[in-house]
Amino acid sequence: MLVPLGRKELALPASMFRLVIFAAHALGLAAVQQAVLTLDPPWSTVFRDKSVTLRCTGSHSPGSTRISWYLEGKFWKSTEMNSLPIKSAAMKDSGKYQCQTSDSSLSDAVQLTVSEDWLILQAPHYAVFEGDRLVLGCCGWKGGKVGEMRYYRDGRDITPGHVQSSYTIDRAKYSFYKSTTTVREPASSPEYQIPEAGLADSGLYFCVVQAVTSSVQKRSPKLDIEVKRVPVSGVTLGVQPRNGQVVAGEGLVLNCSVAAGTGPLAFSWHREGSGLALRTETLRLRRTDYKIPAAMESDAGEYYCAASNSNDPVLSPRVTITVWVPVSPPVLTLSADGFWAAIGDAVEIQCESHRGSAPVVYRFHHEGALLGTRTVSAHGPGSITINLTSESDSGAYSCEADNGVGDGPQRSAPSHLAVLVPVAGANITTDKLDPVLMVGESLNLSCWVQVGTDPVFRWVHDTQELDVASELGLLSPVGNVLYVESVQLGHAGNYQCIASNQLSPQRVFLAPSEILAITVRADMSAQMAASASVTGMIVALLCLVGAILAAVLYIRYRQKTEETFFTAQWRRSVSPAQQELPAQRLPPPAAVGSLELEPEYDNVCPQKQESGDVLYSVISIKKGNRAKPTGTAERDNGHLVTYAVLPSPMIPRDSATRARASEARDEPMSDVYENVPHP
């Protein structure tokens, strides 16, 4: 007999729960609130007049249990219970049913078919997924009793009159077919089971029932069975290390897994903002790894993986990967120009590691002592500012950087800062108690400052800066000392020293001293000697001028005497007492009448007093033509000495003398004069 399967209770397969899980993972909170509609019994096809119950599962708002039912997309009715029985199904009850609770969304549609056929193939009303156990039942109407049987040939009733109009099929055999292929040979069981359905099990199924003792056979309508792949759900991304924090250079593992999903799964890994997938692969596994052997700083970011089995990819939640990079040795910089600064300046000290994950803690040190710390939460330098108050702020400055990764803090190379003390309080002193000096004394001036680093000194005399080219002839100043070995009158005046030091040509510090007045006085004895010397020089100069003037007058005089020359012989003689004076012979007036001058004879030139000899001169008067005067006797060849110009002898006016002159007119015009010593 045919076994009705409509009253047999079957448990919902695991695929139903996987479907709910898939909906929850795919749609989030909204999926959890979607209502689920099931049939009891769970067959999608039932005979007319059979009972079937619809059940709705979903969340409710507090105080509300009302369920809304829909048929073919239209509101059908509402109930306070989550079940709606159809006690005697009619053909009009066929259609797609949905339900909704007060706090859920509309359920998926469930197809219910009411049949009037003699034989039906029953299948679950829910979707069948890969891996599910598929049960098909072959069920006859009214338990297998057959009545009012008729026979036809070519559409014409040929039922004989002696044929029994009704009978019961006993010991029937059931066979199942997929399209034209027999999937199970005739057997007494009205069920056909597929323990683990696959995609290949999809197709058009029907069943055939026949009696063993007769040739009666019935065939059910075809039923389309679709085995679906279990949608991918529950995609998660795991990381090693578990907290997603890895030190640069260490390995990183990204594990992608799915909670549900059948068939070959296509996995892919992605980093937010990277565009293309980092890696893709297709496996028949629900879990696989993507490994980064040595993570770098560029590997940091948000990661996710995706999985699919010919459906839309399902994404995992994002996982943040942090790659910790140890800090590099920092670089310390000082705002001071040339590593020099002056007291009162504010110096900024910067410390920066060009590589390393933030946050970074920077610590600043001066000669090993901690000055302060700065925490930087992003890439960039940390800095502090110090105010220089004394030379003790000079020295070595350094910093260290630490982000808790790697081998610990990294220290910078030291930078040396020199603090300059501006010069101030310049003073000038002298080695003399009295600033009044005498010519020839030494002068020693010193300049010093109360404070100042490496001062440079300049000396000023009467607003003129002293140097090697000084007009005063001073020695070049040496540092803060000015020394003059022998002062002169020109060294008197106002002295001042100027101390200076500088950080740069633009920052020069000056400290001028007070003005020191130096007085220089002359020595009186030296002054008198100098006056006498000057007087002697003036007298000598006047004598020289007089001599030159006398020579000029003499030359002019000779030109006026028509070139008259006087020549005298000199000879040695005894004293006047031992020698008789010769008689003087004066030239006649006629002989000298032509002369314009009458020389006066006074030519005495004594020798030294202790000598007995005297010098005398023989004077010869000649005309301008340099010829000897007429009648001049020859003289001896002694030496001739031109001694003086004597005037011509005057002719006496008395007769006696005129007579003697007349007698001697024939003799040469020359006279012998003897020098006699002065009494």
Give the DSSP letter string of 589-624. Answer: HHHHTT-S--------B---TT---EEEEEEEE--T
Are 616 and 491 contained in the same domain?
no
410, 351 contact by CB (below 8 A): no
Total-model pTM: 0.49
Other Cβ atoms within 10 Å of 288 Cβ, number: 19
Instruction: Give residue 149's pLDDT.
Output: 57
Q: Which of 515, 478, 513, 512 is nearest to 495 (CA)?
A: 515
Q: Which residue has the higher pLDDT, 265 or 624?
A: 265
Amino acid identity at 40: D
- Residue 488 scores a pLDDT above 70: yes
d(CA 344, CA 366): 18
Supply angle C-alpha 345, 348, 352, rounded to 5: 165
397-451 pLDDT, tens digit each: 999 999 988 888 999 999 999 999 999 999 999 988 888 989 988 989 999 999 9
Are 574 and 648 contained in the same domain?
yes
Which stretches does DSSP call E strand in 81-226? Answer: 83-86, 95-100, 110-115, 119-122, 128-129, 134-140, 145-147, 152-153, 156-157, 166-168, 172-178, 181-187, 191-194, 203-211, 217-219, 223-225
Instruction: Give residue 238's pLDDT.
Output: 95
Q: Give the phi and the psi of residue 675 in degrees, each rounded to 5.
A: -80, 130
In a domain, 556, yes or no: no
Q: Where would I find the H helices in 614-654?
A: none
Instruction: Give residue 18's pLDDT.
Output: 45
In a domain, 537, yes or no: no
Are 573 and 668 contained in the same domain?
yes
- Residue 248 scores a pLDDT above 80: yes
Supply angle C-alpha 135, 140, 143, rounded to 5: 115
What band does 52 get if pLDDT is binned at 50, 70 and 90?
very high
Instruction: Give residue 129's pLDDT.
Output: 86
In a domain, 546, yes or no: no
Are 202 and 152 contained in the same domain?
yes
What band does 152 get if pLDDT is binned at 50, 70 and 90?
low
Instruction: Give residue 614's pLDDT.
Output: 46
How would you class 127 by CB atoms within 10 Å of its CB: exposed for 0-12, middle for 13-18, buried for 19 or more? middle
192, 209 contact by CB (below 8 A): no
- Residue 334 scores a pLDDT above 90: yes
Instruction: Give residue 470's pLDDT.
Output: 54
What band does 90 get if pLDDT is binned at 50, 70 and 90?
very high
Instruction: Give residue 338's pLDDT.
Output: 77
d(CA 624, CA 601): 20
Are 93 and 216 contained in the same domain?
yes
- What mean pLDDT, rounded, does the chain reach? 78
In a domain, 230, yes or no: no
CATH of the domain at 149: 2.60.40.10
293, 251 contact by CB (below 8 A): yes
Average pLDDT over residues 340-346: 93
Are 258 and 397 contained in the same domain?
no
Place of tokens 């030379």: 391
Instruction: Give residue 662's pLDDT.
Output: 46
Q: Which residue has the higher pLDDT, 659 or 197?
A: 197
382-410 as b/e: b if 16+ CB within 10 A? bbbebebeeeebbeebbbbbbbebbeebb
In a 3-state reduction of DSSP, which class is residue 341?
Answer: strand
In a domain, 553, yes or no: no
Q: What percent of the chain has pLDDT over 70?
A: 70
Q: In what order do the strands lie in the sheet with 382-387?
A: 331-334, 346-352, 382-387
Q: Which residue has the higher pLDDT, 292 or 160?
A: 292
The domain tally of the chain equals 5
**Region of poorest pLDDT, from 81-95, 126-140, 544-558, 654-668:** 654-668
Residues contacting 138, CB < 8 A, separation 6+:
2, 5, 119, 120, 121, 122, 174, 176, 190, 191, 192, 207, 208, 209, 220
Place of tokens 């002019």: 556
Are 511 and 362 contained in the same domain?
no
Instruction: Give residue 467's pLDDT.
Output: 73
Other Cβ atoms within 10 Å of 320 Cβ, number: 13
Average pLDDT over residues 553-568: 65
119-142 pLDDT, tens digit each: 899 998 888 888 889 999 998 876
192-233 pLDDT, tens digit each: 999 988 889 999 999 999 876 656 788 899 999 988 888 899
In a domain, 641, yes or no: yes
Structure token pair of residue 604? 């005495």
Average pLDDT over residues 451-479: 77
Other Cβ atoms within 10 Å of 162 Cβ, number: 5
How would you class 44 by CB atoms within 10 Å of its CB: exposed for 0-12, middle for 13-18, buried for 19 or more? middle
Of 394, 420, 446, which residue is a domain's last?
420
What are the C-alpha distances in Å from 33 to residues 6, 128, 258, 491? 31, 23, 22, 113
d(CA 236, CA 305): 7
Identify the DSSP state of 376: E
Are 410 and 458 contained in the same domain?
no
Are 162 and 49 contained in the same domain?
yes
Q: Which of 452, 460, 536 is nearest to 498 (CA)?
A: 460
Of 522, 552, 570, which residue is a domain's last?
522
How would you class 541 by CB atoms within 10 Å of its CB: exposed for 0-12, middle for 13-18, buried for 19 or more? exposed
The count of residues in the chain is 679
Beta bridge partners of 493: 518
Average pLDDT over residues 297-324: 92
Are 494 and 372 contained in the same domain?
no
Structure token pair of residue 298? 């560029």
Beta bridge partners of 668: none
Terminal-residue alpha carbon distance, the chain: 214
Instruction: Give residue 316's pLDDT.
Output: 96
In a domain, 248, yes or no: yes
Instruction: Give residue 668's pLDDT.
Output: 45
Q: Give the phi and the psi of residue 577 in degrees, each rounded to 5.
A: -70, -25
250-308 pLDDT, tens digit each: 999 999 999 988 889 999 999 998 888 999 999 989 999 999 999 998 899 999 999 99
Instruction: Give residue 476's pLDDT.
Output: 58
Beta bridge partners of 447: 428
Q: What percent of the chain has pLDDT over 90?
A: 43
209, 173 contact by CB (below 8 A): yes
How would you class 233 by CB atoms within 10 Å of its CB: exposed for 0-12, middle for 13-18, buried for 19 or more? buried
d(CA 400, CA 332): 9
- Residue 640 scores a pLDDT above 80: no
Q: Give the phi and the psi of residue 40 in degrees, each rounded to 5.
A: -140, 110
Alpha carbon 400 to chain centroid, angstroms: 19
Phi-psi region of 4 (alpha: psi -120 to 50; beta: other; left: phi over 0): beta
Instruction: Give residue 540's pLDDT.
Output: 87
453, 502 contact by CB (below 8 A): no
Of 375, 391, 420, which residue is a domain's last?
420
Tell me the residue range of the domain where 645 lies.
561-679
Q: Which of 276, 279, 239 is nearest to 257 (CA)?
A: 239
Which stretches does DSSP call E strand in 541-595? Answer: 566-573
Are 214 and 240 contained in the same domain?
no
Structure token pair of residue 201? 């099990």
In a domain, 528, yes or no: no
What band does 612 get if pLDDT is binned at 50, 70 and 90?
very low
Q: Which of 175, 179, 208, 209 is nearest to 192 (CA)?
A: 175
How would you class 561 by CB atoms within 10 Å of its CB: exposed for 0-12, middle for 13-18, buried for 19 or more? middle
d(CA 372, CA 591): 134
Q: Which of 151-160, 266-275, 608-617 has the highest mean pLDDT?
A: 266-275
Instruction: Give residue 421's pLDDT.
Output: 94
Are 58 and 191 contained in the same domain?
yes
571, 638 contact by CB (below 8 A): yes
Instruction: Give residue 398's pLDDT.
Output: 96
Structure token pair of residue 79? 């109930």
Q: Give the phi and the psi of residue 540 in degrees, each rounded to 5.
A: -60, -40
